[in-house]
Amino acid sequence: MKGNAVNNPESTYLTTQLKRICFICKSALVDDAIYCHRCGTKQPPPKLILRSEEQVFELQDASKVWIVGRTIPATGHIVDVDLGEAGGKLGVSRRHAELAFDEQNYQWTLRDASSQYGTFVDDQQVQPEVFIPLQAGQRVRFGGIEFSIELQY
């Protein structure tokens, strides 16, 4: 399953500021609660949204590792979050980074896949091969392409 690229960055989207409700008992949830305080049901993971001026990627499947990079059709190299030909000119590696949901800590994480030009979170370079937690509002840069992080519960 690929991330959904949305061509209109001004499209309506939800943020963590909106009121969440339990999908079982419909009770209001407190902030980013993992479990409903009323019925005890574990809530689904948030959707991770990567937003730039040109692209929006919505990562809904928290059960997989999402590969960020460039798809090269001629070689059969396919990634989940494809930053395209322009990405190659801006320092995005074919397999640049990985995004994964950490079920134990209930948070999205990022790992640089030893990319040539690096991955940065809020202007701090991510050490290769180490997963770091992500939070809403952070800025992530793959090579020269920057995205803001949003979480939709």
Structure tokens at 10: 């001004």
Q: Give the pLDDT score at 14.
A: 39
Q: Give the pLDDT score at 33.
A: 82
Is the pLDDT confidence value at 7 over 60? no
Instruction: Give the 3-state secondary structure of residue 48.
Output: strand
Q: Give the pLDDT score at 8.
A: 41
Contacts (Cβ under 8 Å, ≥6 apart) of 23 = 41, 43, 44
Please tell me the pTM assigned to this model: 0.81
Mean pLDDT of the region 46-67? 96
Q: Is the dihedral of CA 82, 88, 92, 95 positive or negative?
A: positive
Residue type, 4: N
Q: Report the distance separating Cα 91 and Cα 143, nearest Å.
A: 4
Query: What is the average pLDDT value for the chain, to the nearest integer?
Result: 88
Segments making up each domain of the chain, as ranges: 4-9+45-152
Interior angle at CA 141, CA 135 and CA 147, nearest 5: 65
Is the pLDDT confidence value at 122 over 90? yes
150 close to 99: Cβ distance less than 8 angstroms: no
The domain 4-9+45-152: what is its CATH number?
Answer: 2.60.200.20
Mean pLDDT of the region 78-93? 92
Max intra-chain CA distance, the chain: 53
Q: Report the distance separating Cα 68 and Cα 95, nearest Å.
A: 6
- Residue whose structure tokens are 């994964």: 100
